[in-house]
Structure 1
Amino acid sequence: MGPLAAQQAPSAEKIQEADKAFRSGYAALGRGDLKAARTDLERVVRLTPQIEEGHSALGAVLYQLGEDTKAIVQLEAALKLKPEDAAAQANLALAYTRAGQPQKALPLYRSLEGAGPLSGDILNGYVRALAASGASGEAAAKLKSALDAEGSSGDAAKLYADLGSLYAQQRMWPEAQQAFEQSVALDAQQAKVHLQLGMVLGMEGQQQPAIDELTKAVNLDDQSAEAQTELGKALITAGNDAEAIPHLQQAITLDPDETSAANQLAMALQRTGKEQAAIPLFQRVLSAEPDNPSALTNLALAYIQSGDAKSAMPLYKHALALNPNNPTVHQDLGAAYMQQSDIEDAIREFQAGLKLDSQNPRLHYDLGLAYKLKDDLPDAMAELKTAARLDPQSPDAPYTLGILYMQDGKFDDAAVHISKALQLHPDNGDGWAVLGSIYKQQGKLDQAASALAQAVKLQPNQPGPHITLAGVLQEQGKRDEATAQRKLAADLTRVAVNRQRATFAVNTGNLLLAKGQITDAISRYQDAIASDPKFAEAHLRLAAALEQQGRTAEAAKERQIAAAMQQ
């Protein structure tokens, strides 16, 4: 633009002042100082509202600042004064498009198109306005026509990316994939396009290719919260929670308001046994989305897993208020009542869940457990049998049935059900110990010895199976072997008692150290080591206390001992 001309100027003085402001604003615009340009151009418009160039320039600056509504006012004013201003037409079309007014934008784009081929942001805006108006086919045709003219040079990579975005909006995944692939083939440094391609591949179920593309996006732009989030989500879909967690953590560091990343991170932490770390993240999600049913139930579950059923209750009730016909939430609320030993309310919730989903084996199992705790054995057995029938691959129902039959003195039935449970879950050391005890009660000593030997193999540090096996061997006349088992049991019991004593001493030492009573804490840590010399934590805590006293050499020695134990 050139200097302002005096068109209907109220005075030569104002025109001179406006001309100076225009030159200053134009210079600021040239050096990228949009705020200064805005201030100068607003002055131009105030001084000479009859001059079209001021409105047009101010509208362009406001558009670049993202203030579309204000930009539209100025650009409309400019075109009233000078309808043929192509720059004002282009900026107004783009502002209309971004402001969600595509129908107003289309006549302007068509006017501009009549003057010659469109390119760059104008073409992109035209395509977006067409798509927003439901003319996706025409939008695609515009891009393809531009690509035919462009060939494989210049803006072709961007045009293919725009075409891919258009297809993705229409959920035309294969076409979108092809367009994005052509774009990155021309320019492999486009982080955004790798991100879009990765998301499309994920929608197509191509997990590893999606992860590969999203990894490229993150490598090209590791400050993109969206790319970090999408890579984290893709890794979770592939079952790689541990790999997903650092990407999701980075995403919420970059964008603390990214609730999707916070929710995904919380669920990944929860699945990896880090419920305490998940709780504040779920709370963050609920702060932004208080009626998010997934976050409500997941936070409640995290409380349950942390032993805080009381905090879980209102969350489950809120979730049920949003959707009273969700059997899973009734089941989870029942579990919360169970944790609080509120058996009657637990039974009520499990029954409510079964009214909605009568074929849910887990609900039948949970209801059976509730009846068991209520000492209602007939109803407990009926529910557990139903659970076993509905889910014949789960060991839980037959195992619990076996325990009930054993407690009722029905050892034959108990052995049948425990054996079935062990066929489904052969690594259950407690189960083999129970089965061995049942066989012993039945006088089936060989079978008892075999089951107990398996229990000892699976749980070598538990004294109980050794003691029971010793009794079986004694009855079989194998006195030396029985004596050996009793000795093992006694040694294991002694170790367990010593570890318990050492743990108590360490906990006491920790309390003393927190109070600044370092000498007393050291004494308790030394007591712990005397009770259990192989307790690595006691050596580490002693090292920390010694270091606070300046005894660095002794502290280093304790850490070396602990490190050797942990290898």
Structure 2
Amino acid sequence: MGRVVLCLLILIAVPALADESIATLFKHGTTAMDEGRTEEARDTFARAIQSAPSWGLAYLSYGIAEQTLKPDSEKARNAFEKAVQLEPENPRAHYYLGLAYERVGRFSEAMNQYRQAIAKRPQLEDAHLQLGNLQRLQGDHVGAITSFETLIALEPDNVGALLTAAELYEKVQRFDDAEHALIQVTRLAPTVAYHQYRLAKYYERVGNAPKARHAYARADSLKSPQRRKMRPLLPSK
């Protein structure tokens, strides 16, 4: 993820700086990160910080590289905190600080940072995803549903988000919505047997045997011939 973000960050205008070499350092670090030379990128961004200690983007870029090398790095976390302090309106700074907090179990602080990132850029899909996952893990099903519904509105073809939303809908007994989400997944990936099995198991859980049999039959038809007989269909009533 860090490499993709840095490709986008290079499009951000480098501020007017007294030392032209700072811009060169940043571009060099971005190229190194994009090419997988992460340690070189981190060290280059560290030099950029030394040359421009008030430039938030340098801290953010350093933090991304450091976090890529060590996901729970305290140095990365400190860099993201500094980036937020220097550029509080930068949604990516809040997002990455949220990731850093999440990775060391500081979940409330992580969710706060994700919310701030979303407030500053409502279209930031990654922040909705991370916030929704934390809400789900903490048992806030209603909050998680809101996050995943927003994510799906932004990215209607996100199969993972639809599957998670279906699970959440079922937990709060919104069965029509759960069924709709699972059906949407099978339409997005019509040749994937696993998704048909997910739909069939859902129908089993809610007691709809006819639809379960139909979904299992569809799933079996999508599997390789040697595996089609591995799971028997539900008996007719």
TM-score normalised according to structure 2 size: 0.75
1:456–1:466 Cα contact (<8 Å) kept:
yes
Of 376, 395, 399 in structure 1, the residue corresponding to residue 129 of structure 2 is 399
Give the corresponding residue for 2:141.
Answer: 411
- Taking the aligned partners of 1:426 and 1:355, their CA distance within structure 2 comes to 34
1:418–1:431 Cα contact (<8 Å) kept:
yes
Following superposition, the deviation at residue 459 of structure 1 comes to 3.3
Following superposition, the deviation at residue 479 of structure 1 comes to 2.4
Following superposition, the deviation at residue 296 of structure 1 comes to 1.5
Of 117, 137, 141 in structure 2, the residue corresponding to residue 387 of structure 1 is 117
Moved over 4 A (4+): 461-464, 487-495
Following superposition, the deviation at residue 418 of structure 1 comes to 0.9
Of 314, 322, 335 in structure 1, the residue corresponding to residue 64 of structure 2 is 335
Within a 5 Å distance, the mapping from 1:277-292 to structure 2 comes to: 292=24
Looking at secondary structure, tell me which structure has more helix per residue.
1
2:128–2:148 Cα contact (<8 Å) kept:
yes
- Tell me which amino acid in the other structure corresponds to 1:301: M
Does 2:106 align with 1:376? Answer: yes
Following superposition, the deviation at residue 421 of structure 1 comes to 1.7
- Which runs of 5 or more structure 2 residues have no equivalent in the other structure? 1-5, 8-20, 226-237
Following superposition, the deviation at residue 405 of structure 1 comes to 1.0
- Taking the aligned partners of 2:223 and 2:82, their CA distance within structure 1 comes to 46
The percent identity for this pair of structures is: 24
Give the corresponding residue for 1:326.
Answer: 55
- Taking the aligned partners of 2:40 and 2:214, their CA distance within structure 1 comes to 50
2:169–2:177 Cα contact (<8 Å) kept:
yes
- Taking the aligned partners of 1:323 and 1:340, their CA distance within structure 2 comes to 23
- Taking the aligned partners of 2:23 and 2:89, their CA distance within structure 1 comes to 29
1:439–1:445 Cα contact (<8 Å) kept:
yes
SS in 1 for 2:122: coil
Structure label with greater radius of gyration: 1
Within a 5 Å distance, the mapping from 1:88-487 to structure 2 comes to: 292-303=24-35, 306=36, 308-343=37-72, 344-486=74-216
SS in 2 for 1:292: helix
Structure 1 residues 475 and 334, CA gap change in structure 2 (3 angstroms): same
Following superposition, the deviation at residue 494 of structure 1 comes to 6.2
- Taking the aligned partners of 1:290 and 1:372, their CA distance within structure 2 comes to 31
Within a 5 Å distance, the mapping from 1:36-47 to structure 2 comes to: none
Give the corresponding residue for 1:113.
Answer: none
1:445–1:472 Cα contact (<8 Å) kept:
no
- Taking the aligned partners of 1:458 and 1:333, their CA distance within structure 2 comes to 38
TM-align CA RMSD: 2.8
1:287-343 Cα distance to aligned partner (Å, 9 max, x none): xx898234323223313xx3x423322222222233232222211211122212342
- Tell me which amino acid in the other structure corresponds to 1:418: F
- Taking the aligned partners of 1:363 and 1:369, their CA distance within structure 2 comes to 10
- Taking the aligned partners of 2:218 and 2:132, their CA distance within structure 1 comes to 29
Give the corresponding residue for 1:12.
Answer: none
- Which runs of 5 or more structure 1 residues have no equivalent in the other structure? 1-269, 272-288, 496-567
Following superposition, the deviation at residue 388 of structure 1 comes to 1.2
Structure 1 residues 492 and 408, CA gap change in structure 2 (3 angstroms): farther
1:351–1:367 Cα contact (<8 Å) kept:
yes
Structure 1 residues 441 and 411, CA gap change in structure 2 (3 angstroms): same
Structure 1 residues 300 and 427, CA gap change in structure 2 (3 angstroms): same
